[in-house]
């Protein structure tokens, strides 16, 4: 088995403004860099063997900060843990998006469904786990993956059978969600909000 901890990237100016980023490549702001350092301090409590990242700048920068703090090298950039494509909703304020489309599950022209995001992300996590098991057999490995709020929400939704996250629950910048991956299975073990 492989332990995978999904970490949401640090804050960006668009997060602060409550603007939908999606695939728009927005960098971290100063608070976002501090979020990454706090996440690293929390993650230092247990050993980790590798760190991976979404290709988007905000996730890569978060991963680089965490990697430097924990003495890890960035093991790879994983395109399928990138944020959800929001299509015509990209760049909108969250309040405008909700008033225009109704909710996060609405069909928006050019946008990915939350389900599709979860499916692609879970497949990517299983690929990371398979690679980790090949490199570290027979022991379990602990892997960090820096991703995005929409990705983490979608993965949690699928692995919990739709019972989590609860309505209105925020996937905070710098939060960590630990999973256990084994062949054909991904299970949520714990979630930690890093404040």
Please determine, for residue 18, whether its predicted confidence score (pLDDT) is greater than 90: yes
Q: Is 42 a catalytic residue?
A: no
Assess contact for 124 and 78: CB atoms under 8 A. Answer: yes
Q: What is the pLDDT of residues 131-188, one digit of tens each?
A: 877 766 556 689 999 999 999 999 999 999 999 998 888 999 999 999 999 988 999 9
Average confidence (pLDDT) over 107-122 = 97
Q: What is the pLDDT of residues 62-105, one digit of tens each?
A: 999 999 999 999 999 999 999 999 999 999 999 999 999 999 88
Give the pLDDT of residue 166: 87
Give the pLDDT of residue 137: 54
Please determine, for residue 195, whether its predicted confidence score (pLDDT) is greater than 60: no
Average confidence (pLDDT) over 119-125 = 98
Question: Taking the model in full, what pTM does it have?
Answer: 0.94
Give the number of other CB atoms < 10 A from CB of residue 55. 14
Assess contact for 21 and 83: CB atoms under 8 A. Answer: yes
The active-site residue, picked from 61, 83, 90, 112, is: 83
Please identify which residue in the block is written with the tokens 């995001």: 117
Give the pLDDT of residue 50: 93
The active-site residue, picked from 9, 37, 42, 126, is: 9
Give the pLDDT of residue 46: 92
Q: Is 9 a catalytic residue?
A: yes
Give the pLDDT of residue 150: 96
Please name which of 21, 34, 72 lies closest in space to residue 51, comparing C-alpha atoms.
72
SS3 of the chain: helix, strand, coil, percent, to 5: 40, 20, 35
Average confidence (pLDDT) over 8-35 = 98
């Amino acid at each position: 088995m492989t332990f995978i901890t999904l970490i949401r990237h640090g804050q960006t100016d668009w997060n602060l403004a409550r603007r939908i980023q999606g695939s728009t490549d927005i960098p971290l702001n100063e608070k976002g860099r501090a979020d990454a350092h706090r996440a690293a301090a929390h993650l230092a409590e247990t050993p980790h063997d590798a760190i991976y990242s979404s290709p988007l700048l905000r996730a890569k920068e978060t991963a680089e900060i965490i990697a430097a703090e924990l003495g890890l090298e960035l093991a790879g950039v994983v395109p399928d843990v990138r944020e959800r494509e929001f299509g015509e909703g990209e760049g909108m304020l969250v309040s405008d998006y909700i008033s225009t489309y109704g909710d996060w599950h609405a069909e928006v022209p050019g946008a990915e469904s939350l389900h599709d995001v979860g499916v692609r992300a879970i497949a990517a996590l299983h690929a990371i786990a398979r690679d980790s098991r090949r490199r570290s057999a027979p022991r379990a490995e602990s892997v960090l993956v820096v991703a995005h709020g929409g990705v983490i929400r979608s993965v949690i939704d699928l692995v919990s059978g739709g019972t989590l996250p609860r309505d209105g629950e925020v996937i905070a910048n710098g939060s960590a969600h630990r999973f256990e991956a084994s062949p054909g299975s991904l299970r949520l073990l714990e979630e930690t909000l890093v404040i």
